[in-house]
């Protein structure tokens, strides 16, 4: 993946995504000098080696410091290091979904509460959502190390601790139980589910990804093909039944919170899973089902959102919650 110094606008990213143009490595290095060690010029274009985990880690740190006022961000070795442009796209499209249900009125500064299921050590969605829209977040994870790391990041950065609540999900088979309170109302849930069904499948997929990334790499030396360039622990990468079973289980549990959540949502990495997921949603009697496409360059991604409330109920929810801007 090559990033030009003066690239044209990337039409595939959301219009509000501030990463529509190429990364400004001069600015990034000013704010986070370490990134200069990993950037280089290739064919008059400035880039990094995206197959190098340390390069990706420092790129994220530079982006978070430069554009999101995150001074302290560090994750343990081997944990998932998410690409920020694609992650913030999910946030922007969720904001559009809320606006649509609020008769098109902007609610970007309103008191929105979002549940991030499987927030990971990076806590990336709550950070981006809070900085972009001032949303409040509940961020859950089944991994104690991820929870502790996320808490450290939140407490180390100004303005996050009173807007982001990190919770350990003690039951790895649950999504909302013990996390959502008995009478709590939540506007959105979001999730980046593990999409492999086994470690072997995860390593095979990563091997192919690394091979493609290294085509544009300055360093053509043979590397450890079993290393995960973006990191990832078991709960982040794979689960029994893979992505499809994970999402079906989430749908089944979401029925019990049908009146407490305006919209549930989850990323769906495998397009072939969509038909089965939609069928499960219809069986669960979801009233509104939306598939929202996103793209970053040549990569096409999507998330599916569902609500058990009809249009009148959704509009009433928004009219009551967002009648006054904060």
The full set of domains in the chain, from first to last, is 79-198+229-321 (3.40.50.150)
How confident is residue 110, by pLDDT bands cut at 50, 70 and 90?
Answer: low
Average pLDDT over every residue of 171-193:
96
Are the C-beta atoms of residues 81 and 58 closer than 8 Å to each other? no
Instruction: Give me the chain's average pLDDT, please.
Output: 85
Give the pTM.
Answer: 0.86
| Model confidence at 86: pLDDT above 60 | yes
Residues 9-61: pLDDT tens digits? 455 899 999 999 889 999 999 999 999 999 998 777 888 998 888 999 999 99
Residue 239: what pLDDT? 58
Residue 97: what pLDDT? 95
Give dist(CA 165, CA 148) in Å, integer: 12
Q: Rounded to the nearest 5 degrees, what angle is found at the Cα of 230, between the Cα atoms of 225 and 232?
A: 95
Residue 233: what pLDDT? 47
How confident is residue 221, by pLDDT bands cut at 50, 70 and 90?
Answer: very low
Residue 311: what pLDDT? 95
Express as a percent the part of the chain with pLDDT over 90.
66
Residue 88: what pLDDT? 97
Give dist(CA 64, CA 70) in Å, integer: 5
How confident is residue 6, by pLDDT bands cut at 50, 70 and 90?
Answer: very low
Are the C-beta atoms of residues 142 and 175 closer than 8 Å to each other? no
């Amino acid at each position: 993946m090559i990033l030009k110094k003066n690239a044209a606008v990337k039409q595939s990213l959301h219009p509000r995504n501030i990463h529509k143009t190429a990364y400004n490595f001069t600015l990034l290095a000013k704010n986070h000098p370490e990134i200069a060690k990993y950037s280089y010029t290739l064919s008059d274009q400035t880039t990094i080696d995206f197959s190098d985990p340390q390069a990706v880690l420092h790129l994220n740190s530079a982006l978070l410091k430069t554009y999101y006022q995150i001074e302290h961000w560090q994750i343990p070795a081997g944990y998932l290091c998410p690409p920020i442009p694609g992650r913030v796209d999910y946030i922007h499209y969720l904001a559009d979904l809320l606006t649509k249900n609020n008769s098109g009125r902007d609610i970007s500064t309103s008191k929105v509460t979002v549940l991030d299921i499987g927030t990971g050590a990076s806590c990336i969605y709550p950070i981006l959502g809070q900085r972009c829209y001032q949303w409040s977040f509940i961020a859950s994870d089944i991994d104690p190390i991820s929870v502790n790391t996320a808490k450290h990041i939140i407490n180390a950065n100004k303005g996050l601790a009173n807007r982001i609540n990190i919770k350990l999900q003690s039951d790895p088979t649950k999504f909302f139980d013990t996390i959502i309170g008995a009478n709590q109302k939540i506007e959105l849930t979001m999730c980046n589910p593990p999409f492999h069904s086994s470690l072997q499948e995860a390593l095979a997929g990563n091997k192919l990804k690394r091979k493609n990334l290294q085509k544009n790499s300055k360093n053509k030396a043979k590397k450890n093909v079993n290393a995960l360039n973006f990191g990832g622990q078991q709960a982040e990468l794979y689960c029994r039944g893979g992505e499809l079973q994970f999402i079906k289980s989430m749908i089944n549990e979401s029925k019990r919170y049908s009146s407490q959540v305006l919209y549930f949502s989850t990323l769906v990495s495998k397009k072939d899973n969509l038909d089965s997921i939609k069928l499960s949603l219809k069986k669960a009697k979801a009233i509104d089902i939306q598939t929202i496409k996103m793209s970053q360059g040549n990569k096409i991604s999507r998330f599916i959102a569902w609500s058990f409330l009809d249009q009148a109920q959704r509009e009433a929810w928004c009219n009551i919650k967002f009648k006054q801007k904060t």
